[in-house]
Amino acid sequence: MNPYIIEEHEGLLVFTINREDKRNAISYEVMDGLEEAITLAGEKKIKAMMITGAGEKAFCSGGDLSSFHELKTAKEAYKMLKRMSNILVKILLFPKPTIAVLNGTAVGGGCELASACDFRIARKGIKAGFIQGTLAITTGWGGGTIVSEKLAHAHAMKMLMEAVPYKTDELLQIGFIQSTYEGDSITAGKLFLHKFMGIETEVLSSYKQMFLRKLEQNRIEERIQAEVEQCSILWGEEAHHKQVNKFLQKK
């Protein structure tokens, strides 16, 4: 089965992580798909990009532990972390509106991927959290830096440091999600973006640039690089490998 699906819905490019059996974990093939989707979304006919997951159990469970656990040293981890952080930077700085539709649980790198989008909406009843701390690492794809830009300081720090999944009422209260929905994810995403789609792409892009200038002034890419390097160091420590093995041995 293809690990991702790319569709176009009347000017909205939809990327779906299609690995429901692995709770939509991000593998190298999914990274290939995200890079392809970002290129396609740059086409003139596309006004916005949406990212979601297959099924109703998970939006994305972060990095694919069954393959990334083979990365043992900081140097080995850095390569993977850097590649995915480049993808998140492209999403973050994408010159059109982007939305993550949390169709299910979003944990670890799944929360990082969602943070890179301009908007996040969530199906009622799901949970989302930066659980990296439970694996003795920090965020490592740029999500910690990005969420520290998008949420109030205390909310962002609390979400990162607690390293637990939050329910939708808390996610709404801290502003991590903009709204909740029931039913089909793509329909929900299209509904959220409905008014945007009637506005000229040039206008949408010009407004997006206003927000990107602020991120660039805050040296966002330099700070994300520092996050990737710090996560790589923690990744190489025994404490991380022990926690990942604990998860994999549960299977």
Residue 62 within binding range of ligand LZKTLF4L, rule CB under 6 A: yes
Let me know: does 129 contact 111? Beta carbons within 8 Å.
yes
| CA gap 167, 135 in Å, rounded | 21
Among 4, 59, 68, 181, binds ligand LZKTLF4L (CB under 6 A): 68
Let me know: does 205 contact 44? Beta carbons within 8 Å.
no
Among 97, 140, 144, 236, binds ligand LZKTLF4L (CB under 6 A): 140
Under DSSP, is residue 118 helix (H, G, I), strand (E, B) or coil? coil
- Other Cβ atoms closer than 10 A to 36: 13
Q: How far is CA 221 from CA 33, 78, 82, 92, 128, in A?
A: 22, 16, 12, 10, 24
| CA gap 65, 42 in Å, rounded | 31
Residue type, 92: L
Least spacing, CB of residue 208 vs ligand LZKTLF4L, in Å: 25
Residues between 75 and 114 that touch ligand LZKTLF4L (CB under 6 A) = 105, 107-109
Least spacing, CB of residue 210 vs ligand LZKTLF4L, in Å: 29
**Which C-beta is closer to ligand LZKTLF4L: that of 48 or that of 159?**
159
Instruction: Using the Cα atoms of residue 102, residue 108, residue 113 and residue 118 in order, give the sign of their dihedral.
Output: positive
Residue 135 within binding range of ligand LZKTLF4L, rule CB under 6 A: yes
Among 141, 166, 176, 196, binds ligand LZKTLF4L (CB under 6 A): 141
**Which C-beta is closer to ligand LZKTLF4L: that of 12 or that of 87?**
87
From 45-53, 95-103, 128-136, 208-216, span contacting ligand LZKTLF4L (CB under 6 A): 128-136
| CA gap 185, 223 in Å, rounded | 32
- Other Cβ atoms closer than 10 A to 196: 19
In this structure, are strands 4-9 and 12-17 parallel, antiparallel, or unpaired?
Answer: antiparallel
Q: Can you say how many angstroms the Cα of residue 211 is from the centroid of all Cα atoms in its chain? A: 18
Among 22, 155, 158, 167, binds ligand LZKTLF4L (CB under 6 A): 22
**Which C-beta is closer to ligand LZKTLF4L: that of 139 or that of 168?**
139
- In the complex, which residues of this chain contact ligand LZKTLF4L (CB under 6 A)? 22-23, 25, 57-58, 61-66, 68, 105, 107-109, 131-132, 135, 139-141, 231, 247, 251
